[in-house]
Copies of this chain bind each other. A is one copy, B any other.
Amino acid sequence: MPDPIFVTDPRHAGIARDLYAVARDLPLISPHGHVDPALLADDEPFGDPARLLIVPDHYVTRMLLSQGIPPDRLGVPRRDGGPVETDPRTIWRLLAANWRLFRGTPSRLWLEQTFRTVFQVDIPLTKDTADDVYDAISARLAEPGFRPRALFERFGIEVLATTESPTDDLSRHAKLAADGWGGPGGRVITTFRPDDVVDLERDGWAGNVARMGELAGEDTTTYAGYLDALRRRREAFIEAGATSSDHGHPTARTVALSPAEAAELYERGLRGEATADDAETFRAHMILEFARMSIDDGLVMQLHPGASRDHNRALFAAHGRDVGGDIPMATDYVRALRPLLDAHGMDPRLRVVLYTLDETAFSRELAPLAGGYPALFLGAPWWFLDTPDAMRRFREAVTDSAGFYNTAGFVDDTRAFCSIPVRHDVARRVDAAYLASLVVQDRLPFPEAAETMADLAYHLPKRIFRLEKR
């Protein structure tokens, strides 16, 4: 039975297993992700294995596309409502027939471990076993113990944050709160993600802003009203349990504008006259504005820059956003964050968690920044980098300048609810392997490594994302 510890030397592996044992059964803290809150609010049974595990997983559909299998054949909905494959078993067999594409990838690791540890299905997936695996998982999904809330408890999740736009009415979180699952200190909380109402270039921005104004009861035809609306929505999110916000801009650029300058850009946006430069400046300015709001209301800021969104234009045209068409870009943090850090980098009330898709920034920029400013922490390796090898490279690259305690712990950032325990488990194994390398090299005594292990797996994310006072 596979039990990877991501280490080759036997003595090293032994120590790694001892450290992993410290963290294995600790509760899961999931302070950032994209699970649909309706899943837990409604607690309906999951659908079939393909719609649960393949169709919405853009890591999987992207890889199949790269070898010429279009998303239509995998059941990914089209924007034009055109026909796509609807038979889940056909979709499942297509994955199985192309399973070799996933050798060595994190998708394979997560899926195999999910089959085994979540669904207790130990049959290796091949072209020939596709139906057997499908049927076995289907059978599990029909059991009451495989409804979302039952799995949530079985997974040992202590807290799970979903991500919503200010234009969301948070009704599903209200339902969760009514059921004793949500609200401040609850098991399922939200995260404030304002990109929809901040990015002047986004389709429907003006409509989003108006919708936010309605929900907030503020007049968003002025910049001052827009800021008030954002503050009101943050309050509502905090009432729905939020402890953090999330910001996914193309770059990490920040800029300090006067209110009058910002208002001018905002008004240009409302008039539909904003240029690409205006939009970039406004996004950069709003990071500082949100930092000020965070200092007031305590939301931890997460910055997720560096994705070239919808790079694959044909894919976007056919299937829309978040289907595997984004590509990382080289990302500067040193110059980009300077205005934010000049203004608030030394303020202990501010907490900013930095992510990257550009791993060259780990040792050169992010670790020195997080190791030099009280307000900064390093987020876990993100997206294309949330893999055993990249997570190891992250620790090797950042520990020198940032240590362990300027890192924010693992964040699964996933839409795939059933993969949550596996992803945390892999992260814990990788951290155990890294800490064990320090022990075996005489650089850290075992007891300190063990304490660090528990901190990385549990205590640090809980503290840094302000999930402690519960």
Contact = CB atoms under 8 A, between A and B. Distances in A.
B374 A364 contact: no
Contacts of A65: 372-374
A368 interface: yes
- State how many copies of this chain the complex holds: 3
A232 interface: no
A406 interface: yes
Q: In the complex, which of the residues A329, A364, A440, A451 has the most CB atoms of chain B within 10 Å of its own CB atom?
A: A364
A321 B30 CA distance: 40
Contact of A373 (B109, B312, B348, B359): B312
Interface residues of A, number: 91
A392 to B, nearest CB: 9
A441 B6 contact: yes
Contacts of A102: 403
A85 interface: no
A142 interface: no
A273 interface: no
B345 A314 contact: yes
Interface string A33-72: 0000000000000000000000000000011011110000
A68 B342 CA distance: 16
Nearest to A4: B442
Interface of A: 2-12, 62-63, 65-68, 100-106, 109, 124, 308, 311-315, 324-325, 327-330, 332, 334-335, 338, 341-342, 345-346, 348, 357-360, 363-365, 367-374, 376, 384-385, 387-390, 396-397, 399-406, 437-438, 440-445, 448-449, 451-452
Given A327-B372, A329-B334, A390-B400, 4 more contacts: A8-B441, A315-B346, A324-B372, A360-B364
Give the top 6 A-B pairs by smallest Cβ distance, nearest first. Answer: A4-B442, A104-B399, A387-B400, A2-B442, A8-B12, A8-B9
